[in-house]
Amino acid sequence: MTRVNPGGTIGILGGGQLGRMLALAAANLGYRCHIFCPEENSPAFQVADTTTVASYTNEEALIDFAQSVDVATYEFENVPGNTADTVSAHTLLRPGARALTVTQDRLTEKQFLNDAGVETAPYQAFHTADELEAAFKTIGRPSVAKTRRFGYDGKGQQLIKTPKDLELVLDVTQNMPAILEGFIPFDREISVIVARSASGDVAAYPVGENVHTNHILDTTDVPAAVSDRIEATAKVLATKVANALDYIGVMGVEMFVTDSTGQIIVNEIAPRVHNSGHWTMDGAHTSQFEQHIRAICDLPLGDTQARGKVRMKNLLGEDILNLDEFLEDPTASVHHYGKSDPRPGRKMGHVTWVKTE
Ligand code: AMP
């Protein structure tokens, strides 16, 4: 039996805001959560039934954690492979380890997408200076160099517009395996939050339009200002990705819409609930967090419709100090992640506005 009923315990690897919002949604459905995270005082600990503070390489702690839960999941994609293997040897791990191996490396991710018939930016792998030169001959400029692993929020990336930019690449990639990808002159960035349950049912949310500032998500608007054709195609692509991975849970699929032809190019997939899906907490019939819990527990998936026009704005760093401005706005739904140190760029909370008329 793959269904986990309310009353059961869900294990979450990672104790950040995503783990926190998953635990809150799980509690609403009658589940308990056990959070495993190396950092003390993690945001998710404040709302969880049980917590373990231990390293992701602590096998004994991982086994105890896995044996204490009915199903385990994760809130970040860089869960080490050995950690996933240990947990999945002792409990159900959803999404499974394959979603992690495919998405942890930009090269395997792009190969997987292309094999599934999903278009990406053109790319070529490189490591050494000679390989970079060869990749540059093929891809040309403008292009973007990115480390294959552990890059996020623009870290480990170098945009190449001029010959001088090319000289910076190996400093930025720091001798780590990397890819060079063609720069896509996009008109808009969109994303699809899609859920696939343990029974194989799939439900995609309306497409969100994302604006990034300094490589960090600033706002998401729903509906996206795209044609019905783009809206439908984006959802089909996300569904294709979830099915091809035999995925269980919620994932975020980030895409570029190009200006000239309205073509969709997939940039990245995140095997977890996604920042660009936070609008669903107040703006959709079922939040992405509840949907993830439903999917991994093999409950029926919830309705993904938007309740109206929705805008989500991230509160980064010291934005959180202006909380009263949002608390005094009767149309704003405020989410504070319970973090105390507002470092620049740190995700401290978000605000959502829903217009239903
Ligand atoms: P990533 O880390 O791949 O999500 O990239 C972060 C952001 O950089 C994206 O959201 C885009 O705004 C920009 N970007 C990344 N790759 C490309 C590309 N190939 N073409 C154009 N913009 C890109």
What is the 3-class SS of 104-132, one letter each residue?
CCHHHHHHHHHHCCCCCCCEEEECCHHHH
CB 22, CB 84: distance < 8 Å: no
Tell me the two tokens of residue 217. Answer: 């998500």
Ligand 1 centroid vs 181 CA: distance in angstroms?
A: 10
In a 13 Å sphere around the CA of 347, the CA atoms on its Cβ side amount to 21
Residue nearest (by alpha carbon) to ligand 1 atom 8: 215
pTM of the predicted structure, to 2 decimals: 0.96
Ligand 1 centroid vs 267 CA: distance in angstroms?
A: 7
Ligand 1 centroid vs 292 CA: distance in angstroms?
A: 26
The pLDDT value recorded for residue 336 is 98
The pLDDT value recorded for residue 1 is 57
Handedness of CA 117, 293, 94, 45 (dihedral sign): positive
- Count the residues in the chain: 357
Q: Tens-of-pLDDT digits for all 357 residues of the chain? A: 589 999 999 999 999 999 999 999 999 999 999 999 999 999 999 999 999 999 999 999 999 999 999 999 999 999 999 999 999 999 999 999 999 999 999 999 999 999 999 999 999 999 999 999 999 999 999 999 999 998 777 788 999 999 899 999 999 988 899 999 999 999 999 999 999 999 999 999 999 999 999 889 999 999 999 999 999 999 999 999 999 999 999 999 999 999 878 899 999 999 999 999 999 999 999 999 999 999 999 999 999 999 999 999 999 999 999 999 999 999 999 999 999 999 999 999 999 999 997
Ligand 1 centroid vs 242 CA: distance in angstroms?
A: 21
Tell me the two tokens of residue 334. Answer: 């405020």
The pLDDT value recorded for residue 216 is 94
Beta strands in 148-196 (DSSP E): 157-160, 178-182, 186-196
The pLDDT value recorded for residue 151 is 77
Shortest-distance atom of ligand 1 to CA 106: 3
Please, where are the H alpha helices in the chain? 17-28, 59-67, 81-90, 97-103, 106-115, 129-139, 163-173, 228-244, 280-283, 288-297, 323-327
Shortest-distance atom of ligand 1 to CA 143: 19
CA distance 213 to 215: 5
Shortest-distance atom of ligand 1 to CA 186: 21
Question: Closest by alpha carbon to 300, among 194, 201, 192, 193?
Answer: 201
The pLDDT value recorded for residue 268 is 95
Of 144, 147, 216, best ligand 1 pocket probe by most atoms within 8 Å of the beta carbon? 144
Ligand 1 centroid vs 189 CA: distance in angstroms?
A: 9
Ligand 1 is surrounded, with C-beta below 6 A, by 121, 144, 151, 154, 181, 183-184, 186, 189, 212, 215, 267-268
Per residue in 254-271, pLDDT (tens digit) is: 999 998 788 999 999 999
Residue nearest (by alpha carbon) to ligand 1 atom 5: 154
Ligand 1 centroid vs 153 CA: distance in angstroms?
A: 9
Of 267, 269, 314, best ligand 1 pocket probe by most atoms within 8 Å of the beta carbon? 267
Per residue in 314-328, pLDDT (tens digit) is: 999 999 999 999 999
CA distance 88 to 91: 5
